[in-house]
Amino acid sequence: MSFSRNSFTTKERQKWMSVLSKSSCQELEGAWQGISEKPDYRHLRKPETGIIMVRARAGGSGLRFNFGEMTVTRCTVKTDEGYVGCAYVMGRDHRHAELAALFDALLQNSGYKLKILNMVILKLKESREKRKEEISKKSAATKVDFFTMVRGD
């Protein structure tokens, strides 16, 4: 492997993996097309769709229980420089998982890392947050404003 262990932390990786899985496939595809020097890669694990059991807690904080399943697609790629990118993304979109794994591999490469963090991850994160904020503001408009009727003498 050509990268040093210190080029990223697990916490950093968790953050970018989160952004990649929560973005849409179209967004990732657009970002991928924008990368001028794409590395060669091969699949260590071809995109594969399966399910995970979603767990929850009784009362929201107590006893764990199996709530229900969701579809997830996973993929692992290895770039020619030796970086292994991994992705588990919600849904059944193989290309989404593949792109997320590719970006995960690129982000481990200090040669790409800063550029992709700024050009791709940050943008995806911001556009997602903006969408979320819009939804939240619409709900905020439905917040009840209680007032007390003052009765005449």
Interface residue list for another protein (CB under 8 A):
10, 14, 17-18, 21-22, 48-72, 74, 76, 86, 88-92, 132-144, 146
Q: How far is the CB of 76 from another protein (least distance, A)?
A: 7
**Choice between 50 and 115, CB closer to another protein:** 50
Contacts of 84 (CB under 8 A, 6+ apart): 44, 76, 77, 78, 105, 108
Contacts of 78 (CB under 8 A, 6+ apart): 41, 42, 43, 44, 84, 85, 105
Please, how many CA atoms are within 13 Å of residue 146, restricted to the half-sphere of its CB?
1
Tell me the pairing of strands 41-57 and 64-79.
antiparallel
Q: How far is the CB of 5 from another protein (least distance, A)?
A: 15
**Choice between 21 and 109, CB closer to another protein:** 21
23, 121 contact by CB (below 8 A): no
**Choice between 74 and 113, CB closer to another protein:** 74
Q: How far is the CB of 119 from another protein (least distance, A)?
A: 21
**Choice between 149 and 152, CB closer to another protein:** 149
Q: How far is the CB of 87 from another protein (least distance, A)?
A: 9
106, 15 contact by CB (below 8 A): no
Rama region for 60: left / alpha / beta (φ>0; ψ in -120 to 50; rest): left
**Choice between 34 and 137, CB closer to another protein:** 137
Q: How far is the CB of 17 from another protein (least distance, A)?
A: 5
